[in-house]
C-alpha cells in the first residue's frame, strides 16, 4: 500500500512539474498566426503578432530576387527562439537615419520628426518641420547618397538606417557593417501604384510602434483617392494629355503602366502613350512626339521648366504644340522648400489624394471650381 502511494505521489509530482514547465515555456513555442494588413504595396509585408512583428522586404529594385526579413519587438526576449536568426530591430526606434525625401512625410504624419538624426543632402528636404531641425543642427548631413559619410553616421548614433537599393552593384549591408548600424531596405521608389506607394506609412508606423495611427492615416488617404477616382469616372469627356520634355536630343515620358500614367487615367484623362508597356520612361525623338502629341489638350510635367519663355529658350519647337499655344501646360516643379527641394518629389508618393485632386481640377475644373492646387501650377 505504501509503495502504491509512493508511486502515486511521484506521478502527481511529475505531472505538476510537466504542466508548470509547459506553462512557463509556452510563450516561446506557441504557434501564432500573424495578420498581414498590407493590401496595395508589393515591396513589403508586415505580420503583426502579440509581442513582435515580422517585416519582409522584397522587390526593392527591378528584378530583385532576394527577400529580407526583420523581426521588430520592444525587447529581444519577446522574440521566439525560431526567429532569433533574423535581424532584430528594437521598437520604437528613437534615432533614425533616412536616405530618401519620400521617407520624410511619414515621420511628419506620424508626429515623430524629432527621431530623425541624419540624412544625405539635407538641402533636398522641403518639410518646414524637418528644415527647422536641420537649421537647429539636430540633423546631420551625410553628404552624397551614393557614398554617405560613415563617420558622420556613426556620430549621429542612429539606431537604424533606412536605405534603398537600385541594383545589385551596391551592397548597403556591407557598407554599414563597419560602424555596426543595422540597415533596413525600403522599396517605395519601386512601387508602381499610387496607393502602393502611400501604404509605406505602415512601414514607418511599425518602426515607431504606431501601427494603428498609420492604418488610420492610410485609410483616410485611400478613401479620398478612391472617391475622387469614382467621381471623375462618370465624366464622358476625357481630355488628351502629353507629358515629359526633351533631355538633350531625346524626349522622356512615362510609360503606360507607370505611376504617372496611372494618375492621368484616374484623373479622367486620356494619356497619349497609355497603351505602351512598362513602368519606366519612354525615349522618343521630338519628331515622333510632335506627330503623336501636337493636338493634345494638356501637357503635364515639362521637366524643370516653370515658364513658357524658358521652354522656348531651350528649344523653339516646344511652341508648336497646341497645349503650349493654349497655355495648358502644368508643372509640379515650381513648389519648392526653403533650400530648393521640390515638394512634389518629397510628398506626392505619400499623398496621392492631393496629386489626384490637383489633376482632376485641371482636367475637369467644373468638378472643383474653387480648388487651389497643392503641387501643380500653370506654366505661363
For the chain (length 380 residues), average pLDDT per consecutive 10? 44 39 41 79 96 95 92 95 94 98 98 98 97 97 92 96 84 76 94 97 98 98 98 97 97 97 98 97 98 99 96 97 99 95 97 98 95 95
Q: Are 263 and 329 in the same domain?
A: yes
Collapsed DSSP state (helix, strand, coil) of residue 110: helix
Q: Are 257 and 306 in the same domain?
A: yes
Tell me, yes or no, whether 54 lies in a domain: yes
Tell me, yes or no, whether 11 lies in a domain: no
Copy the grid coordinates of residue 179: 560602424
Name the nearest CA neighbour of 243 among 279, 214, 281.
Answer: 281
| Element housing 206 (H / E) | helix 201-207
Q: Are 193 and 303 in the same domain?
A: no
Tell me, yes or no, whether 29 lies in a domain: no
Which of 221, 252, 284 terminates a domain? The answer is 221
Collapsed DSSP state (helix, strand, coil) of residue 224: helix
Collapsed DSSP state (helix, strand, coil) of residue 310: helix
Copy the grid coordinates of residue 262: 496611372
Copy the grid coordinates of residue 347: 510628398
**Torsion sign (Cα): 98, 101, 102, 107:** positive
Collapsed DSSP state (helix, strand, coil) of residue 304: coil
State the Cα–Cα distance between residues 182 and 93, nearest whole angstrom: 12
State the Cα–Cα distance between residues 11 and 16, nearest whole angstrom: 9
Which of 198, 221, 244 terminates a domain? The answer is 221
Q: Are 217 and 248 in the same domain?
A: no
Q: Are 90 and 194 in the same domain?
A: yes
Q: Are 215 and 246 in the same domain?
A: no
- Per residue in 277-292, pLDDT tens? 999 999 999 999 999 9
Tell me, yes or no, whether 228 lies in a domain: no
Q: Are strands 250-254 and 281-284 parallel, antiparallel or unpaired?
A: antiparallel
Q: Are 45 and 192 in the same domain?
A: yes
Tell me, yes or no, whether 207 lies in a domain: yes
At 12 the pLDDT is 39
Q: Are 308 and 282 in the same domain?
A: yes
Q: Are 241 and 215 in the same domain?
A: no
Q: Are 76 and 181 in the same domain?
A: yes
Q: Are 152 and 179 in the same domain?
A: yes
Q: How many domains does the chain have?
A: 2
State the Cα–Cα distance between residues 154 and 97, nearest whole angstrom: 10
- What CATH number is given to the structural domain containing 193? 3.40.50.1980
Task: Check residue 166 and report its DSSP letter.
Answer: S
Tell me, yes or no, whether 142 lies in a domain: yes
- Per residue in 126-160, pLDDT tens? 999 999 999 999 999 999 988 899 999 999 999 99
Which of 191, 221, 251 terminates a domain? The answer is 221
**Neighbour tally for 205: CB within 10 Å:** 23
Domain span at residue 187? 35-221
Q: Are 214 and 305 in the same domain?
A: no
State the Cα–Cα distance between residues 189 and 109, nearest whole angstrom: 19
> What does pTM read for this prediction?
0.89
Tell me, yes or no, whether 30 lies in a domain: no
Name the nearest CA neighbour of 292 among 264, 262, 323, 325.
Answer: 323
| Element housing 136 (H / E) | none
At 145 the pLDDT is 85
Tell me, yes or no, whether 15 lies in a domain: no
Neighbouring-strand partners of residue 240: 270
Amino acid at each position: 500500500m505504501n509503495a502504491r502511494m509512493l508511486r502515486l505521489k511521484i506521478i502527481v509530482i511529475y505531472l505538476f512539474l510537466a504542466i508548470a514547465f509547459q506553462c512557463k515555456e509556452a510563450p516561446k513555442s506557441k504557434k501564432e498566426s500573424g495578420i498581414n494588413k498590407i493590401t496595395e504595396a508589393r515591396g513589403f509585408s508586415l505580420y503583426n503578432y502579440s509581442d513582435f512583428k515580422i517585416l519582409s522586404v522584397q522587390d526593392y529594385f527591378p528584378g530583385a530576387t532576394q527577400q529580407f526579413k526583420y523581426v521588430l519587438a520592444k525587447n529581444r526576449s519577446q522574440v521566439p527562439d525560431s526567429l532569433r536568426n533574423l535581424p532584430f530591430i528594437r521598437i520604437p526606434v528613437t534615432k533614425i537615419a533616412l536616405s530618401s525625401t519620400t521617407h520624410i512625410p511619414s515621420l511628419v504624419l506620424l508626429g515623430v520628426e524629432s527621431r530623425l538624426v541624419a540624412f544625405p543632402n539635407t538641402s533636398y528636404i522641403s518639410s518646414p518641420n524637418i528644415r527647422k531641425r536641420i537649421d537647429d543642427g539636430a540633423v546631420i548631413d551625410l553628404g552624397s547618397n551614393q557614398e554617405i559619410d560613415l563617420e558622420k553616421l556613426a556620430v549621429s548614433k542612429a539606431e537604424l538606417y533606412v536605405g534603398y537599393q537600385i541594383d545589385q552593384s551596391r551592397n548597403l549591408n556591407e557598407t554599414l557593417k563597419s560602424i555596426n548600424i543595422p540597415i533596413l531596405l525600403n522599396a517605395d521608389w519601386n512601387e508602381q501604384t499610387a496607393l502602393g506607394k502611400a501604404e509605406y506609412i505602415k512601414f514607418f508606423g511599425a518602426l515607431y510602434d504606431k501601427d494603428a495611427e498609420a492604418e488610420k492615416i492610410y485609410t483616410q488617404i485611400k478613401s479620398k483617392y478612391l472617391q475622387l477616382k469614382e467621381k471623375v469616372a462618370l465624366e464622358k469627356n476625357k481630355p488628351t494629355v502629353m507629358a515629359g520634355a526633351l533631355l538633350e536630343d531625346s524626349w522622356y515620358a512615362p510609360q503606360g503602366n507607370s505611376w504617372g500614367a496611372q494618375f492621368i487615367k484616374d484623373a479622367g484623362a486620356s494619356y497619349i502613350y497609355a497603351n505602351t508597356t512598362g513602368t519606366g520612361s519612354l525615349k522618343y525623338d521630338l519628331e515622333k512626339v510632335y506627330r503623336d502629341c501636337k493636338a493634345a489638350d494638356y501637357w503635364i510635367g515639362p521637366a524643370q521648366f516653370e515658364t513658357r519663355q524658358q521652354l522656348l529658350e531651350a528649344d523653339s519647337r516646344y511652341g508648336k504644340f497646341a497645349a503650349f499655344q493654349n497655355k495648358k501646360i502644368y508643372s509640379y516643379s515650381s513648389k519648392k522648400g526653403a533650400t530648393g527641394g521640390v515638394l512634389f518629389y518629397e510628398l506626392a508618393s505619400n499623398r496621392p489624394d492631393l496629386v489626384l485632386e490637383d489633376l482632376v481640377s485641371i482636367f475637369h475644373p467644373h468638378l472643383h471650381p474653387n480648388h487651389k492646387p497643392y503641387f501643380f501650377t500653370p506654366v505661363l
